[in-house]
A and B are shown apart, each in its own frame.
Chain A
Amino acid sequence: MSAELAINAPQVIARKPARKATSESGLVRFVLIGLALSYFALLVLTPLFAVFYEALKKGAEAYFTAITEPDALSSIRLTLMVAAVAVPLNLVFGVAAAWAIAKFEFRGKSLLITLIDLPFSVSPVISGLIYVLVFGLQGWLGPWLQAHDIKVIFALPGIFLATVFVTVPFVARELIPLMQAQGSEEEEAALVLGASGWQTFFRVTLPNIKWGIVYGVILCNARAMGEFGAVAVVSGHIRGLTNTMPLHVEILYNEYQFSAAFAVASLLALLALVTLVIKTLVEWRVKH
């Protein structure tokens, strides 16, 4: 079980017998580094640059118009709302699940671990489709929902549900190996010293996993804001109502409003960059 959990486990690097010392020859190093850098530049840096270039091609004014027009603002608002719902929910669930898995033995534990991974192994479009099949008009709960005048599909609840589903694994996945490695001796020590369950959680458990939580939340947030496939299926693309930023970008692009599309896309790209910076800072903080 621990083997399948250790997603961040260090890889064992099989070394060839050392040549002179332990380093490769200059040529090999040059080729390897060059290859890695050009690959990276071609696949990552160029598109990133293109996004900002295209977004600003028609000038700063056009850029700001594109990101401040009502539909764009509404999509930004919705995206922030989705993240504000999905991240806290998955934070609480992730901590609870990781706690249960790492500190207790119970029936169905391996099933729970598998289920946490499910959203990663299912195509996001399928995840969206599942919700349509369950909550849509022709779905299982459709008639009942309609009778009670509750709209899930092509409305906000559907978008929230789909996003929460897709982002379930991030926090839990980050915490499970961490908490398993830490064991429960510190918690036991706190209990013996007279601490209550809550005191133990807030004073001992939480501080020990806080950087893991931050890391998981960052990744969860990035995915929640950027999710396209699952949300596209359940949203219904109603402008100003159920369009998140990625959906808005698609609509603009399909309408040949390239500058506007890239302007909104640049915001998402910016978010990705900020996320990466925070992530790097967190990693640096953990090491020092």
Chain B
Amino acid sequence: MSIEVRNIRKSFDEFKAVDNVSLDVPTGELVALLGPSGSGKTTLLRIIAGLEQADSGEVLFHGEDATSAHVSERKVGFVFQHYALFRHMTVFENVAFGLRVRPRRVRPSEEKIREKVHELLQLVQLDWLAGHYPHQLSGGQRQRIALARALAVEPKVLLLDEPFGALDAKVRKELRAWLRRLHDEVHVTSVFVTHDQEEALEVSDRIVVMNQGRVEQIGSPEEVYSRPATPFVFGFLGNVNVFHGRTHDGWLQLGDARFEVPDGTDARDGAALAYVRPHEIEIERFSPGAKGITAQLQRALVVGATARLELEREDNAQIIEAELPEHRFRQLALKAGETLILRPRELRVFHDHAAS
């Protein structure tokens, strides 16, 4: 079932948590809401679930307006960051809860409930824990049970609020891959909230990047990472170098160096910000007359297949990060203190609103 969010606004006192957000989640997709804390992603998720009431705007499930539907009528599955398992019930009863609270005429028989619960526990590979209580489980196990519990009511959409946020790094990585496989298996339309860019890039079909209550960009992980639409997205996903310069007639001036502004940027003439990823910088030894940014190599660190270089610009002492394939680094045989010429292979230019 598809989800449509239209012009949602929500304020807490003076604070605008969600500021006019619209978004579509097609049936069967796994979408990540990605953003720093306070960006409104959790509030948006809770509004979709019906746990929070929007000040204005609409939520549609499969084209039908669900804005005023009570949370218990929306048929959503919700997974909480801190699991929210019922502490006084066994794992079995936790998963069975959604079936047991149904009105008598649509409640499955005890036998059907048992069948369904065991089926779900097998799906999350924790059938052997049926008789345990939540406090006897590890964090990763609890979150899988929470997921089984949410799936028991056969939700049309699954909403996950920082599902792996409270787990340690190793378990998080395992569960991430597992969630992706599970989604491919059950194919329920899913939205999950995360502040972890790696998680969003790895798991989701599409990423919605949020900042200060607004959507910055919506796109596939590939798009969002390699073609960020705004300076914020550039900075939030992956490492990036920011250069302050000026644009004029399609040319970008960075100190003494001049670069052609790529097509399709909104940069007007004036102050500009240029964003370059560390691995998109071409490096060679300084030779008189060579075009590019002159910088001095401060430090180099080889980690696995890449060499990370820390460089200092000659004209304004800005620190620049660059990455080279390890073999290229060996080939050049660079040493600390050497003067080099840098040329961005890819660069994105944005108008600098703050400086103009």
Report the Cα distance A6→B275, complex, angstroms: 52
In the complex, which residues of chain A have a beta carbon less than 8 angstroms from the beta carbon of B85? 186, 189
CB within 8 Å of B: which A191-209 residues: 191-196, 199, 203-204, 207-208
Answer whether A194 and B87 are a contact pair too, CB < 8 Å, given A188-B51, A189-B80: no
CA distance A196 to B49 in the complex (A): 16
Task: Give 8 new A-B contacts, CB below 8 A, not counting A192-B78, A203-B97, A207-B88.
Answer: A185-B80, A189-B78, A190-B97, A192-B74, A192-B76, A192-B77, A194-B98, A208-B87
> Could you say which residues of chain B place their CB within 8 Å of the CB of A208?
87-88
Give the Cβ gap from B96 to chain A, nearest Cβ, in Å.
10
A199 to B101, CA, bound (A): 7
- A194 and B102 form a contact (CB under 8 A): yes
Asked if B72 is at the interface (CB within 8 A of a chain A CB), the reply is yes
Measured between C-beta atoms, what is the minimum distance from B156 to chain A in Å? 12
The reply to whether A185 and B88 contact each other, CB–CB distance below 8 Å, is no
Instruction: Using CB atoms and an 8 Å cutoff, list the residues of chain A in contact with chain B.
Output: 185-186, 188-196, 199, 203-204, 207-208
Instruction: Judge whether B137 is part of the interface by a CB distance below 8 angstroms.
Output: no
B78 touches A190 (CB 8 A): no
B82 within 8 Å of A (CB atoms): yes
Of the residues A188, A196, A203, contact of B84 by C-beta under 8 Å = A188
Cα distance A191–B98 in the bound complex, in angstroms:
9
Q: A185-B80, A185-B82, A199-B101 are in contact. Are A192 and B87 (CB under 8 A)?
A: no
Interface residues of B in 42-72 (CB under 8 A from A): 49-51, 71-72
Question: With A185-B84, A186-B87, A208-B88 in contact, is A192–B49 under 8 Å at CB?
Answer: yes
Task: Flag B87-119 by CB within 8 Å of A: 1 or 0 each.
Answer: 110000000011001100000000000000000
Can you give 16 contacting A-B residue pairs, CB < 8 Å?
A186-B84, A188-B80, A189-B146, A189-B149, A190-B86, A190-B101, A192-B49, A192-B51, A192-B71, A192-B72, A192-B77, A192-B78, A193-B152, A194-B98, A195-B98, A195-B101
Chain B: CB-nearest residue to A187 = B84
Nearest 7 CB-CB pairs, A to B? Answer: A193-B98, A185-B84, A195-B101, A189-B84, A192-B78, A207-B88, A199-B101
Q: How far is the CA of A196 from the CA of B73 in the complex (A)?
A: 10
Nearest chain A CB to B219's CB is how many angstroms away?
29
Find the A residue at minimum CB distance from B98.
A193
Contacts of A192 in B (CB 8 A): 49-51, 71-72, 74, 76-78, 150
Q: Given the interface contacts A186-B87, A207-B88, does A193 sit within 8 Å of B153 by beta carbon?
A: yes
CA gap between A260 and B75 in the complex, in Å: 67
